[in-house]
Amino acid sequence: MTFELFETWKKQDLPMNLLEELSSIGKDEKAIEDCFYQYVSFGTGGVRGVLGAGTNRMNIYTIRRVAEGLARYISSNGEEAKKRGVAIAYDTRHFSYEFAVETARVLGAHNITSYVYKEARPTPQLSYTVRELNTFAGVVITASHNPKQYNGFKVYGEDGAQLVPTGATAIIEHMNQIEDIFTIGVAEVTELEQKGLFNWILEDLDEKFMYNLLTLKNNNAIDYNMKLVYTPLHGAGLVPVVEGLKQFGFNEVHVVEEQAVQDGAFPTVSYPNPEEAAAFSMAIELGNQVGADLLMATDPDADRLGVAVRKGDSYELLTGNQLGALLLNYISQTKQENDTLPADGAMLKTIVTSELGTAIAAHYGVTTVNTLTGFKYIAEKVAEFEMTKAHTYLFGYEESYGYLIETFARDKDAVQVALKVAEMAAYYSTQGKTLLDALEGLYEQFGYYQEALVSKTFEGKDGQEQMKAILNNYRLNTPKEIAGVAVVRVEDYLTGVATLQDGTTEPIDLPKENVLKFVLEDNSWIAIRPSGTEPKCKFYIGVVKSSKEEAEKALDSLMKYLI
């Protein structure tokens, strides 16, 4: 079937770039299989994959297939859903604009209204726009922090959060009913504009989004002259982050000009991911030139934020866990000082995020609620709190550099957090402290929490099978100890059961997902999870000790066990 699809594609009137790629594959059976053995899978909130020709690649035809599935799903919800329509945004990647327009053309063929941004805008702004325009759904064309050869299609529900599993399942079912992607109907943009089914948006939504961003500003005395460096890494964060910092009152904001150019080739970085130290090289260079105290970087769709803090003559990068803990403490502390800390407040974090946040939350009388990995689960809990009134949402974060403060957006929001981090750093600056000093204070108060992530890549069809085998092997051969420390609790999120050391079991009240977590006798832990968006199996590690040296030693021991 794989090779039949290959031959079928070769016979189509494809764009020249796709024809050339098919021709270059020639008779390479392995390459053909990888391009055609499946359709790009619908994972965490949508599809993501390598750009190119084939069913297992991102191109206008696989985009049309997802858009068609979305269109049929919306149509099944009635005329009102079609009229409310879909908000569409996109980042600066190759073909992002074209894929956004193509999505609107497919939707328009079903008489579904679209609202399309004229320029690249952040994913969290799309989340806000869905809520502001009361659309039935939203779409962002992005591959987030993946390398330049990737792109993707993320779907949002009417609450502005990534689509929940029931909606995703319905779209997948509609997609599976499409027999021939080359016959999917598309309408012309000019025709749709005349009918009011295609609408460009920009300035008005920019202003409204900024109005909401400014509600984050705390009026405490801060150092507005603190020198900041910001880089959007060629992505969509440039306009709202720079304007937001200006509106907050910061006078010394320096942008890495070479990386302010919106370019899907990401020419100055090999990997546009603010989690990677290499992504900060130009920001560090500029920081040294201007004497900056703080460096910030957003990924291409500006939903993740990385931060580096001056330490002597160099800069030290904060991890997602560290920045999340700092933000949680700062937000809780300032609300407590202003007498606005809710008595029923709750902090949301994922099961693979540091337990330092749990300790900080408890100190302020804030409840910690754990979710599965993926910000859609945090957004789901926000909506649940609004409905049940069980808690008041305070803050949510995950170790992979995703954070949400105010809920006018319902996805991780690097724009919000960039403004709040600048404010937090400027607050500590008035006390003669850096964020590193503040972090050390948290360690001294709550214990030295250290975390690490080991990722192992498994490409192609064989890689998927290898990842399944790894998890299955751990289930069949559950370790009694890890690195010489006894395992006291095994959490299997696929079965929804936690097994204790004495053999007794407890239910896990979370959706089913292929994740294993081992909790050790010394409160260290390891979690194993196949990525939902990348061909990787991820091994998360967390430890806590009374000193930095002890924590580093324990972390190193667990790292060696996994490697």
Residues with catalytic annotation?
144
Calpha distance 292→270 (Å, rounded): 24
142 phi-psi bin (left φ>0, alpha ψ -120 to 50, beta other): beta
- Residues 86, 113: contact at Cβ < 8 Å? yes
Q: Are strands 367-371 and 345-350 parallel, antiparallel or unpaired?
A: parallel
Strand extents, DSSP E, 276-354: 294-298, 305-311, 314-317, 345-350
Calpha distance 539→526 (Å, rounded): 7
Single-letter code of the amino acid located at 294: L
Calpha distance 512→403 (Å, rounded): 23
* 187's tokens: 């309408």
For residue 550, give the H/E element and its range.
helix 548-562
Single-letter code of the amino acid located at 88: I
Q: Which of 208, 230, 248 is nearest to 424 (CA)?
A: 248
* 136's tokens: 């039935």
Q: Let me know how long the chain is.
A: 563
Q: Which of 451, 453, 337, 350 is nearest to 403 (CA)?
A: 350
Q: What order do you get walking across the sheet with 253-255 strand by strand?
A: 253-255, 228-231, 294-298, 305-311, 314-317
Calpha distance 67→69 (Å, rounded): 5
CA dihedral 166, 168, 169, 173 (to 10 degrees): 140
DSSP 102-131: HHHHHHHHTT--EEEESS---HHHHHHHHH
Please compute, for residue 361, the number of CA atoms within 13 A of its CA located in the half-sphere on the CB side: 23
Please list the residues that pair with 116 across neighbouring strands. Answer: 88, 200
Q: Which of 115, 118, 78 is nearest to 97 (CA)?
A: 118
Give ∠ CA 418-375-522 in degrees, rounded to 5. 95
Calpha distance 97→119 (Å, rounded): 8
Helices (H) and strands (E) counted in the chain, each on its own, are 19, 23
Calpha distance 403→48 (Å, rounded): 21
- Secondary structure (3-state) at 255: strand
Calpha distance 542→526 (Å, rounded): 7
Among all chains, which residue has been given the structure tokens 């099961």?
351
- Residues 315, 287: contact at Cβ < 8 Å? yes
* 254's tokens: 């320096």
